[in-house]
A and B are shown apart, each in its own frame.
Chain A
Amino acid sequence: MNRIPVQLANAPAPFPPADLPDLSAAGLDTALASTSVRAAHGTPLLFARALAAGLAQDPAAATDRDRALDLVSVAAWRSGALGLRVDALDRLEHLDTPEQRLAAAATLGLGVDVLDEFRRRQRKDRFWWPGRADQRGYVLAVGGFRGIGGAWIRPPERVDTLADAGAFAILVAGSWWRLDSDVWGARLSVLSEAPSEVHTRDDGVSIVIGPDTHLAWVHVREQE
């Protein structure tokens, strides 16, 4: 059966429908941010909803530039923009008030009770979120058949681990693809040549492929 790529943390939909919030009172143009999120391979729709969910818990952030930037960073990361990961995690470490903690958790689509555990585990396990165990360790699927909007024309054949965290090289139909990923997002890019070095990591993360699927699944073996 042909299936489409998925980020399991986003299925079912983690946020209620919402329009892109207005942060002009904080001097921020969210429409521009939304465009940048798209350029950073995030999903603008998810960005808008995550940001709106956070602001609902901390309305003061709409007029406070620094607090608004905290939520924007977390929402952009939550929407799949992998480039915001470090910035968002740093900001999560410096939440001063209960409202900020509530807002940050809401922006991530998590309960505030698991926020500290999420922060702690994310530092060493970029694929962790509370629902992972329910998915038997599966986190996300990438690729998919190009004929229905995916990336690949054949099932993936081989996977090598790359040096960067969350990065893998995947051989598909004679071409090597690079996968960068974490719990909220994944990005495929085509490599011009085969990876020169193969690395090994003992973090329990593996890519599951099979001859009858165009998808490559990221799976994490629980270690804690």
Chain B
Amino acid sequence: MPDRWNRVSASPTNPGSGHGVESLTAEDLFRPAARSTVPLDEKLRQVYYWIVNRAVISPYYDMEFSHGEPLSIGLGDAGAAVSLPTQASFSSNVLVPLLTFAVGGKCLLIGGPGRGKTTVAVLMGVLAGTASDDVRRSVQQGQPQLTVSDLVGIPLPRDLVAAERLTDIRIAWRDWLGLPVKIIDEYNRIPTKTQSALLTMVAEGYVESHDQMRRTAPDGGVESWFFTANDDAGGGTFPVIQALRDRMDVTVQAAGFNSRFFDELITRVEAGEKPEEHVPAELTFDSAEQTEMRAQIRAVPIPDAVRERLRFFLSHFEFVQHGGRRFEYRTKDVVTTAGGRVGEVIEANSGADLEIDLGAQTRNGVSVRALQTLIIYAKAIAWFRGADAVEIDDVAAVLPFVLRGKLLPNATHPRFDVGAERELSTDTVSWLADLFTQSCRQYDALGRDADDAVAALLSEFDRGLDGLPALEASRRITAVEAQLRRIATVGKLYGRDFDDVIALKYLHQRYTAYVRWQELRG
């Protein structure tokens, strides 16, 4: 095996403890090593660096981390700039799929043909311990004639003839269904009916045929899915059903080839090598390691300071003034489900300050599923970076890839039609990143860390109602009403106010119900 493939980052890829070199003897070299003591996060970092340095030619560092402001250098006369981050930064087209592998998620890789989408996905399959040939063979190629049987397997012909009941028919399930990493190439070329069968697998973790069921997740293990598509804007032979598209936890664009790395490409062509055939054995994860890795990721805490900013960001998007009559129904979802156009409703709200109202830039809100994904991926990247807790930079790094295709831009917003900002209408990742940055700026400008009256009221309530005197409950009802009046004095309402008002109404209900109950009890 050529040694150039086999070089794994020897030095720790992240802060640890440098204890010097342990003395060994020749005899020590012939003792089988105890099971690898490399921590799982360090191992995943070694995998990342092996992929970007050896397997996939990807010199792109678009997931940036910096302490303080990075050095930014303007380029050309069209507003382009390159920033040089101060901390280790990463290639999204490698790291996002790798995090998907770590958490057991679903990743959509998009980009033109021949950009390494399938190669990255196949590498993930090999990392899960499957032989590279088997991974390649198990890739499900999307094509217009792909049937459900092609995808899941066929009923045994003998059983079809002899069976008296549907449950007597045994199914010859396809082998790929049991693999820990599943790859669907060009999923936007799969017929709609087959997409629906795929949806059941992706969403529910099982597949059904002739009343027989088979679980797709390996026993007690972690399964991850990788889809590829040449188009993310609804193109392809068949439109992707929305429910399936919504199941993609993250979407990442494959990077183009950098001509400065042409020599490496020539070397590979001459050697006839495929990176997936050379994954070092020590970089693969067995089922127990994958389960442990996911458990460790889930255990990474999200500190209050990060939660508050994230909460604030999420509050912008659901509300739309004039979306409905009753206050609770003034949401984009109400408009959309009634067949209305959110962009027109936003435009009709002549009193709104579209620059300040971040919610006006989107035509929908963020689903609970997307939020759950955001939480797990933020934890995953914090864990990958070796952090003890999720930092705001971790959220900012993964947020665009999680919300791409889910938080949709309102194309009629002036933001997408003015000068250089027009670029954002095609660069969704930069727009989403900027949206989060703007939200954090607003959070700071409003002094929310120091002054969040609604959070204080909710925190007071969270301490419980057991033994709360009726007088104190009444005082809190008064405080809730006062806070509502305070919000009412502001002329313009924003998404954050909408969430506050709904939360205050909730508190009001809980306290008044408590007071009524106390009165009935005497």
Taking a contact as CB atoms under 8 Å apart, the answer to whether B24 and A81 are in contact is: yes
Q: Which residue of B lies closest to A39 (CB)?
A: B33
Say if the beta carbon of B88 comes within 8 Å of chain A: yes
Whether a CB of chain A sits under 8 angstroms from the CB of B3 is yes
In contact, A164 and B20 (Cβ under 8 angstroms)? yes
The 8 Å CB contact of A41, one of B10, B25, B67, is B10
Minimum C-beta distance from B88 to chain A (A):
6
Number of residues in B with C-beta < 8 Å to the partner? 36
Given the known A-B contacts A69-B26, A87-B25, are A189 and B16 also in contact in the complex, defined by CB atoms under 8 Å?
yes
Which A residues are in CB contact (< 8 Å) with B19?
189
Which residues of A, 87-103, contact B by the 8 Å Cβ criterion?
Answer: 87, 91
Does B303 reach chain A (CB closer than 8 Å)? no
Tell me which of B11, B29, B89 contacts A190 (CB under 8 A).
B11
Closest residue of chain B to A86, judged by CB?
B23
Q: How many angstroms from the CA of A154 to the CA of B28 in the assembled complex? A: 37
Given contacts A36-B28, A36-B33, A154-B86, whether A45 and B3 have CB atoms under 8 Å apart is yes
Partner-binding segment picked from A26-34, A132-140, A199-207:
A26-34
Tell me if A8 is interfacial: C-beta within 8 Å of chain B.
no
The listed residue (B18, B54, B86) touching A177 by CB distance below 8 A is B18
Q: Which of B20, B26, B32 has a CB less than 8 Å from the CB of A70?
A: B26
The answer, yes or no, to whether A211 is at the interface (CB within 8 Å) is: no
Residues in A neighbouring B17, C-beta threshold 8 A: 189, 191-192
Flag whether A214 is at the interface (Cβ < 8 A): no
Contact residues, A54-95 vs B (CB, 8 A)? 69-70, 72-73, 76, 81-87, 91
Q: Does A174 contact B21, Cβ atoms closer than 8 Å?
A: no
- Quick check: B32 and A32 within 8 Å, CB to CB? yes
Q: Is the CB of A32 within 8 A of B10?
A: no
> Given A149-B53, A174-B86, are A167 and B20 also a contact pair (CB < 8 Å)?
yes
The residues of A that contact B53 with a CB separation of less than 8 Å are: 148-149
Least CB distance from A176 to B in Å reads 8
Is B33 touching A35 in the complex (CB atoms < 8 A)?
Answer: yes
Cα(A191)–Cα(B16), bound, Å: 6
Shortest distance between the CB of A202 and any CB in chain B (Å):
21
CB-CB nearest in chain B for A88: B26
Q: Which one of B14, B24, B85 lies within 8 Å of A84 (CB-CB)?
A: B24
Select from chain A the residue with minimum beta-carbon distance to B68.
A174
User: Does B15 sit within 8 A of A, measured CB to CB?
Assistant: yes
A83→B33 contact, CB < 8 A: no
Closest to B9 in A: A151
CB distance from A159 to the nearest CB of B (A): 14
Interface set, chain B 24-51, CB cutoff 8 A to A: 24-33
Q: How far is the CA of A45 from the CA of B27 in the complex (A)?
A: 20
State whether B25 touches A153 (Cβ < 8 A). Answer: no
Query: Does chain A have a CB within 8 A of B206?
Result: no
Nearest B residue (CB) for A162: B20
Residue interface bits A175-193, CB-to-B below 8 A is 1, else 0: 1011010000001111110
A87 touches B33 (CB 8 A): no
Task: Tell me the bound Cα distance from A187 to B10 in angstroms.
Answer: 8
B37 to chain A, nearest CB (A): 10
B8 to chain A, nearest CB (A): 8
A177, closest chain B residue (CB): B18
Q: Is the CB of A174 within 8 A of B18?
A: no
Chain B residues with Cβ below 8 Å from A153 are: 85-89
- Residues of chain B within 8 A (CB-CB) of A82 are 21
> In whole angstroms, how far apart are the Cα atoms of A178 and B53 in the complex?
23
> What 11 new A-B contacts, CB under 8 Å, besides A33-B30, A87-B24, A153-B87?
A32-B29, A41-B10, A76-B24, A83-B22, A146-B88, A147-B59, A153-B85, A153-B89, A187-B21, A189-B17, A191-B18
Between A and B, 24 residue pairs with Cβ closer than 8 Å are A29-B30, A37-B29, A40-B24, A41-B10, A44-B3, A83-B23, A84-B26, A84-B29, A87-B24, A87-B26, A91-B26, A147-B61, A149-B54, A153-B86, A153-B87, A174-B86, A178-B18, A178-B20, A180-B21, A189-B11, A189-B12, A190-B11, A191-B15, A192-B16
Where the two chains meet, the residues of A that have a C-beta atom closer than 8 Å to any C-beta of B are: 28-29, 32-33, 35-37, 39-41, 43-45, 69-70, 72-73, 76, 81-87, 91, 146-149, 151, 153-154, 164, 167, 173-175, 177-178, 180, 187-192
Report, nearest first, the 6 A-B pairs whose CB atoms are least far apart: A178-B18, A73-B26, A189-B18, A188-B11, A83-B24, A36-B29
